[in-house]
């Protein structure tokens, strides 16, 4: 199966608070985006397109291998993935069977997770996401901070990336999405188009780097 990877790396990383875009922040001396690209390739993705901030094309080009394609991302993650998807469906190139969308902010995703997503697609899934169980009691609260209920934890999952899709299903779903729509992940986009999304096991090591503490944990993880 010919799979192309999209890495969403066009965010600014406000919550991390670094002096450069989050995807360029080093982990053990290498920018987060480089780790994310390597994971996709090591897991079996043939080709990678990275969505980056417009002002940072040069900076990303200087740290990524020359065969990684760069596209200018948008103001939201949804817009960035949409831009990368347009590059994936460039009629001048062979159309891939599958597209995997990954966050640059998940540098330490084990390649096994990528392989599980690809295997589920090869088995016929149209859309697949890696998930983890919820271990904490999870509640709802009102505006006043008072508990309003407890959710059935057994039915809840935390969703990670890379998320995998049949190429035409993902392209159709993005085509149907209204121009300014902003969804937090790609599974939500295909679900909005009525496509069922299946799950495979995620991995705790695939945690997203959001705040400074997450980066400190990732550094510890690399040191093993």
Contacts with Mg ion by CB under 5 A lie at: 11
Question: Binding of ligand CTP at residue 57 (CB under 6 A)?
Answer: no
Q: Which is nearer to Mg ion, 11 or 107 (CB)?
A: 11
Using an 8 Å Cβ cutoff, are 99 and 88 in contact?
A: yes
**Residue 191 binds: one of ligand CTP, Mg ion, none (C-beta under 5 to 8 A by kind):** none
Q: Which is nearer to Mg ion, 16 or 195 (CB)?
A: 16
- Which parts of 90-109 interact with ligand CTP (CB under 6 A)? 103-105
The residue sitting closest to ligand CTP, measured at its beta carbon, is: 11
CA 78 to chain centre: 11
Question: Binding of ligand CTP at residue 170 (CB under 6 A)?
Answer: no
What minimum distance in Å lies between the beta carbon of 113 and ligand CTP? Answer: 16
What minimum distance in Å lies between the beta carbon of 5 and Mg ion? Answer: 20
The full DSSP string for the chain is: --EEEEEE-----TTTT-SS-GGGSEETTEEHHHHHHHHHHHTT--EEEEEE-GGGHHHHHHHS-TTSEEEE--SSHHHHHHHHHHHHT-TTSPPPSEEEEEETT-TT--HHHHHHHHHHHHTT-SEEEEEEE--S--EEE-TTS-EEEE--GGG-EEE-S-EEEEHHHHHHHHHHS-TT---SSHHHHHHHTT---EEEE--GGG----SHHHHHHHHHHHH-
Alpha-carbon distance of 223 to 206, in angstroms, equals 15
Query: Which listed range, 38-46, 76-84, 113-121, 145-153, lies at the site for ligand CTP (CB under 6 A)?
Result: 76-84
Question: Binding of ligand CTP at residue 74 (CB under 6 A)?
Answer: yes
Alpha-carbon distance of 135 to 74, in angstroms, equals 34
Q: Which is nearer to ligand CTP, 139 or 216 (CB)?
A: 216
What minimum distance in Å lies between the beta carbon of 106 and ligand CTP? Answer: 7
Q: Which is nearer to Mg ion, 11 or 21 (CB)?
A: 11
Q: Peptide bond before 211: cis, by omega within 30 degrees of 0?
A: no
**Residue 103 binds: one of ligand CTP, Mg ion, none (C-beta under 5 to 8 A by kind):** ligand CTP
- Which parts of 13-42 interact with ligand CTP (CB under 6 A)? 13-15, 22-23
**Residue 104 binds: one of Mg ion, ligand CTP, none (C-beta under 5 to 8 A by kind):** ligand CTP
**Interaction site with ligand CTP (CB under 6 A):** 8-15, 22-23, 51, 73-77, 80, 103-105, 208, 210
């Amino acid at each position: 199966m010919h799979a192309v990877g999209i890495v969403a790396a066009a965010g600014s990383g406000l919550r991390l608070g670094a002096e450069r875009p989050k995807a360029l922040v080093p982990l053990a001396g290498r920018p987060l985006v480089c780790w994310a690209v390597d994971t996709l390739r090591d897991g079996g993705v043939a080709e990678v397109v990275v969505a980056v901030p417009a002002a940072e094309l040069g900076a990303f080009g200087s740290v990524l291998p020359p065969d990684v394609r760069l596209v200018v991302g948008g103001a939201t993650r949804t817009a960035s993935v949409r831009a990368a998807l347009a590059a994936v469906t460039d009629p001048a190139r062979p159309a891939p069977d599958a597209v995997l969308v990954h966050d640059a902010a998940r540098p330490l995703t084990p390649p096994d997770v990528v392989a599980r997503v690809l295997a589920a697609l090869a088995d016929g899934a149209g859309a697949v996401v890696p998930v983890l169980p919820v271990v904490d009691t999870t509640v709802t609260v009102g505006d006043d901070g008072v508990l309003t209920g407890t959710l059935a934890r057994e039915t809840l999952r935390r969703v990670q990336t890379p998320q995998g899709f049949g190429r035409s299903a993902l392209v159709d779903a993005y085509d149907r999405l209204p121009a300014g729509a902003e969804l937090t992940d790609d599974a939500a986009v295909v679900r909005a188009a009525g496509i069922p999304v299946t799950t495979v096991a995620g991995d705790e090591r695939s945690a997203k780097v959001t705040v400074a503490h997450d980066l400190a944990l990732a550094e510890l993880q690399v040191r093993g």
